[in-house]
Structure 1
Amino acid sequence: MSQLFSGLGRKSMRTLRTVLALLLAMACLSTPAYAWWNKDWKYRKAITVDTSPSGLNVSGQIGRTVLLVKLTSGNFTFTEAMQNGADIRIVDADDKTPLAFHIERYDATTGIAYLWVSVPVLNGGEKKALWLYFGNENAPVGSDAKGTFDPDYLAVYHFGENPGQPSADSTANANIAQNPPAGIDDGAIIGRAARFPGQGAIQVAASPSLAMPAGAPMSVTAWVKPEQLAGAQAVFARGALVFGINNGVPFASVGGASAQATAPVKQGEWAHLGLVADGQTIKLYVNGVEAGAASGALPALDGPLLIGGAAGQPFTGEIDELRVSKTARPAAMLMAMANAEGPSNKTVSVSESAEKAEGGANVIGFIISKLHTLDAFIVGICMILLAVAIAVMVMKIRYLNACDRGNKAFLRRFREMHEELVAITDIRGISKLEVSYIEKSPLGHLYETGMDELEVRRLKNPNGGLSGEAVEAMRAAVDAEVVMENQKLDKWMVVLTIAISGGPFIGLLGTVIGVMSTFGGVAMAGEVNVNAIAPGIAAALLATIAGLAAAIPSLFGYNYINSRLSALSDEMRVFVDRLITRLAEMQAELANPPHPHLPIAAE
């Protein structure tokens, strides 16, 4: 490799650097930026909350809502944010008002983060834009769990604690559980979830914030994954109120009154269950859709909360994201919860491109930032292959130009010598510049070899002609020099053939690996929208582009250089026949000089 680049002159190296600079400049194309909340943050992404028919498709007023924003390696550049996500900020559509949010989980290594964002006003049938800012290494922690939930929330449990730790309340009421869940599932629908083996419910002690008078409104929501459906199983219980499933069918009972859904949930699958009491009616919701109702009001509730079981009604399965409110949440809000937090999310999407404060959205740079490590390695290989191929093409063209220039200079002198062939340095009137040209001439090398062979035979037999065997021996020596010259001409050409045939396959390998990794990450994260898939696919295709970028210039360069090599090789073969014939004639003339008394026949 060092021999390759040492063969390049200053002019050629400048050409190579120019080509590489143009390739790098293509990665710097950007579009202009717009209003910016705070210039200390380098990047931002658009978050779209879609309640229109193209998204959630819900009507009516939803009000202040807490929505889940899922960040994955497919829609977020974790390397541009702080390791713990402390610099993340969520700003309202006016690009001026920061919104309360908190992070339930942030793992830059695996590329997964869950953010809970408080949206002050949300209505059905609209598309609302929010901004996610990041990229400020000096930013303080911006997560605010207590400010995320409105005062009507009595308790919210993410179950994100480590095993053995009591479940914490994310609201300002601090209704921490008295005991931890029996188990933890790290791969639940939203981060971690509490696992219940059919015994040992979580208990939350009574507190003033949890006290509720008779007839008061109330809402309870939770994600539930039952591992078996037989019997009555309480998901949430307090005093006379029991909310859970009975043989898989969601139900709520208050003393003698009860409400029951029309269909059971599926065993081993997550379902979003909701209970809403407005003082007159108790309604059940399954995955955001009303599934049952009963007339009645709740009695006074002031005892402890039980999660994952009640007396004689143990729960077997997993529970995640349980919320208790002292208000009757609207049906549209439950629909938004179930959709935004579930796998088929059409409500909240994160844009695939990030804007930069200094210059706006850099699409190519964003795609490059999405490259997986192996893809980046493959792109690097293709770029190195392209650089080496360009170096080979520059070197070979310079070499061929020198050969052509030397051949022209040699043939001019060769024709002038006619029958009096002498060594190149003995040619009368030849300049040092011409000698330097001819020294790089393949024809000149063949001529010198032929002259050396003739001189050897002159020394052995100064007065004799050449036999047929001697002529063939001279031809063999010159042919050997032809082979050596062809080897010089073909040197490094294999690099171009590797770039042509191997570059696209190397790039395709990177694309296949990148696509596989993208879909694997999407499956693990449960993210199925295009914003989660498109960046990874685009980054994977960059590997194929890199392979083609190495192959296409190499293909044109190879065909051009190979045509010149073929022409030069043909010229050497023709010259060999001409040279050997002339040398044989010279030796024959020396052996049989013309008789001094006889006239020489005219040709």
Structure 2
Amino acid sequence: MLAFVFLAALWPSPAAAWWNDQWTLRKKITIDTGPSGAGISDAIGTTPILVRLHVGNFRFGGAKEDGGDLRFVAGDDKTPLKHHVEKYDSLLGEALVWVGVPDLKPGTKNDIWLYYGNQKAPTAVDAKGTYDPDTLLVYHFNDRSTPAQDITAWANTAQNAVPAADGAIIGQGARLDGQTALTLPGSPSLVTAEGGELSWSLWIKMIAPQPGAVLFSRNEGANGLTVGLDNGVAFVEVTSGGNTQRAAGGTAIAAGTWHQVAFTAKGAQIILYVDGNQVATLAAALPTMTGVAQLGRAATAAAPAADAAAPAADAAQATPPAAAPSGSAAGFAGDVDELAIAKVARSAGFIKLSAVGQGPDQAKLISFSVDEENAGWFSGGYFGVILRSVTLDGWVVIGLLGIMALISWYVMVDRISYLNRVSAGNTIFLKHFRETSTDIGGLLQLDNQENDPSFGGELGKKQRKVVHAAPLYRLFAAGAQEIRRRFAGGGYRRLSPQAIQSIRAVLDSGYVRESQRLNRLMVMLTIAISGGPFLGLLGTVVGVMITFAAIAASGDVNVNAIAPGIAAALVATVAGLGVAIPSLFAYNYLTIRIKDVSSEMQVFVDEFITRIAESYELPEEPVKQAAE
């Protein structure tokens, strides 16, 4: 039973699989795209998910101070996911983490795992890996007094800096005053081909409604693309060969509130979205554009296409174009956050997910489970660290102690079960023996060659089998055999004192044999009691020697280097005590029970000899004649 409990505690449970035992805390994050959540029915695919952590859903005290031990794992609890941290403040209890979730399914619940609680874990952020290769530009606007940094692999960093805006929809944003624009680089990766695909999205909070406020603009001679707000109503405008087309829709955006404006272009169709909902379509294709683009004001015509083919580094050093003359188009005044551009037309489900997942309604999409801990002794916490530090010599000693433990447990079970059978058989035998007539001749069945007493035919087959296992019955059978042998010739059935003493000698020898049978294998318990701790101590001493030798060789003297080795070395001593302590308790218990059975046999021998003497003692005259 002890072995079963020990193995059950150590055996890993598939239902409680743990990605890595070095992390002590985890929580499940559910991304609900079904009707009870974000209500997304269109395809989504691979997408970055914003995970907002705060004191209500995350134990900042259990993670590293900088959040470097955060790890995200897919729902299979095996596949690590790329992530990066936009903001992590353990003092204020706030964190913004972006996680790249592959193949997110619509209309259902998708689970990922957040692991933390490993103070030794190195930081493993991967901003570039969080986004797919089709994502050309992402600005978090979490840079102060420096141009906005592109965190994708394309490195499309802005050409100039704009003031920061605290308290944006996602951490820190940027502030546009309607006069100064944020200029994007004219890098080759941002070149737009005629009829090509494009996705664009931006979070905005305008100060006040104004006509023709430009959010994004890009011009190339007679070609151009503009996204803006006309008195709060979103619009997208395309100019191709001097021919301008505009599509606007949706209700007017209220000032002082955050909203996402996005559009996708593919072939001859451009779709405009506000807060993830489609508000307008435009039957037009994107024209060819190779120059720089601006955020917050209308862009002027870009340099010739040949210049746009220059390396991105040269484009980043180019002088920003002058602002367009004021007219029907004006600069946007307000705060912006989270600009994203991709070279493919994202699906409606992707746009909807980004709007819900990044906005104030994120609670509809993402929910957090309670923390699960992995710091138990047998679940990979402290005990797991110790076991991983045990050296080969320690495992050899532990293996020997394990064999010794198995032998001692076998002896315990064997002796206890045997003593139980002995006690049951002795009890039945004594009851019938003492209830039998004082005339022992009938009990001995002297004229019958069968040694088994009949007890008046009162014993059934099962009881007779139990009685046969009793030492008292075997002593009785030995005495009966001696008496029967002496009366084999018939005649006068009397025993001399010398014959009775001879029978006692036979019973005494039987008593010795039964005592030896009772004490069989008990020596193994004494070996476990005395040898287990010493063998464990040997393993500990050797383990400590190896630990200090390794420290001396490496020259690294610190608690982290010493503690695991010492703790692992002490496992051998613990194993030795684990063998000795149960053996000690069992040995004392069995010794008392064996002593009780031995005392019962001694009493029976005296009682049996006395009854034999009473039944078969020679009369006085024959005794005198025998003496003469």
Could you say which TM-score interval applies, normalised by the shorter chain?
0.5 to 0.7
Which among 167, 176, 191 is matched to residue 157 of structure 2? 176
Question: Which residue, out of 226, 229, 247, partners 1:242?
Answer: 226
- CA positional deviation for 1:154: 1.0
How big is each residue's C-alpha offset from its partner over 1:162-190, in whole Å with a ceiling of 9 and x where there is no partner? 2x111000100001111111x21221110
Asked if the contact 1:336/1:347 (under 8 Å) is kept, the reply is no
Partner amino acid, structure 2, of 1:192: Q
What is aligned with 2:32? 50
CA contact (8 A) 1:33 1:357 kept: no
Cα shift readout 1:251-271 (whole Å, capped 9, x = no counterpart): 111110111113211111001
Q: Distance in 1 between matches of 2:200 and 2:42?
A: 21
Partner of 1:354: 371
Displacement after TM superposition at 1:208 (Å):
1.4
Larger radius of gyration: 2
The 3-state SS of whatever aligns with 1:337 is: helix
- Pairwise CA distance, 1:349: 2.8
Deviations along 1:502-521, one digit per CA (max 9) or x if unpaired, are xxxxxxxxxxxxxxxxxxxx
1:221 aligns with 2:194: no
- CA gap of 1:236–1:199, structure 2 versus 1, over 3 A, is same
Gaps of 5+ in 1: 1-30, 363-603
Give 2:257's aligned residue. 269
* C-alpha distance in 2 between matches for 1:109 and 1:87: 16
Deviations 1:346-398 (A, max 9, x none): 454342421111349x9xxxxxxxxxxxxxxxxxxxxxxxxxxxxxxxxxxxx
Letter in 1 for 2:255: Q
Separation in structure 1 between the aligned mates of residue 331 and residue 172 of structure 2, nearest angstrom: 21
Matched, 1:210 2:190: yes
SS at match of 2:357: helix
Q: In 2, distance between residues paired with 1:32 and 1:186?
A: 46
> In structure 2, what is the Cα distance between the partners aligned to 1:35 and 1:288?
37
Structure 1 residues 284-334: Cα deviation after superposition (integer angstroms, max 9, x where no partner): 101100001110100012111211222332110011001011111001111
Deviation at 1:124, TM superposition (A): 1.0
Q: Which has the higher contact order (CA 8 A, sep 6+)?
A: 1
How many correspondences in the alignment?
Answer: 329
2:109 is the counterpart of 1:127:
yes
Superposed, which structure 2 residues align to 1:522-561 within 5 Å? Answer: none
CA contact 2:18–2:77 (8 Å) conserved in 1 = yes
Please say if residues 33 and 359 of structure 1, whose CA atoms lie closer than 8 Å, have aligned partners that are also in contact.
no
Aligned CA RMSD, in angstroms, stands at 1.8
Q: Deviations over 1:419-445 (max 9, x none)?
A: xxxxxxxxxxxxxxxxxxxxxxxxxxx
Distance 2:336 2:235 in 1: 16
Matches within 5 A, 1:379-394: none
The CA distance in 1 between the partners of 2:211 and 2:36, in whole Å, is 40
- Does structure 2 conserve the Cα–Cα contact (< 8 Å) formed by 1:222 and 1:272? yes
Secondary structure at the aligned position of 2:51 is classed as: strand
- 3-state SS in 1 of match to 2:281: strand
Q: How high is the TM-score relative to the length of structure 2?
A: 0.51
TM-score for both structures, normalised by structure 1: 0.53
What is the CA-CA distance between 1:237 and the residue it aligns to?
1.4
Match of residue 320 from structure 1: 337
Write the letter of the residue equivalent to 1:160.
N
Aligned to 1:146: 128
Are residues 1:68 and 2:54 paired? no
Q: What amino acid is the match of 2:179?
A: Q
Partner of 2:235: 251
Identity across the alignment (%): 42
Pairing 1:97–2:114 present: no
Say whether 1:161 aligns with 2:143: yes
Specify the SS of the correspondent of 1:319.
strand
Amino acid at match of 2:339: L
The reply on whether 1:109 has 2:91 as its aligned counterpart is yes
**Structure 2 CA distance, aligned partners of 1:107 and 1:186?**
15
Residues 35, 97 of structure 1: alpha-carbon distance in 2 compared, 3 angstrom cutoff: same
Q: Per-residue CA shift, 1:383-420, capped at 9, x if unaligned?
A: xxxxxxxxxxxxxxxxxxxxxxxxxxxxxxxxxxxxxx
Inter-partner Cα distance in structure 2 for 1:139 and 1:33: 25
The separation in 2 between residues aligned to 1:135 and 1:304, in whole angstroms, is 45
Match of 1:297 in 2: 285
Query: 1:572-587 alignment to 2 at 5 Å?
Result: none
SS at match of 1:320: strand
* Alpha-carbon separation, structure 2, partners of 1:98 and 1:234: 41
Residue pair 2:210, 2:229 contacting (<8 A) in 1 also: no
SS at match of 2:167: coil
Alpha carbons 1:33, 1:355 under 8 Å: kept = no
CA–CA distance in structure 2, aligned partners of residues 60 and 205 of structure 1: 33
Partner of 2:270: 282
Shift of 1:202: 0.7
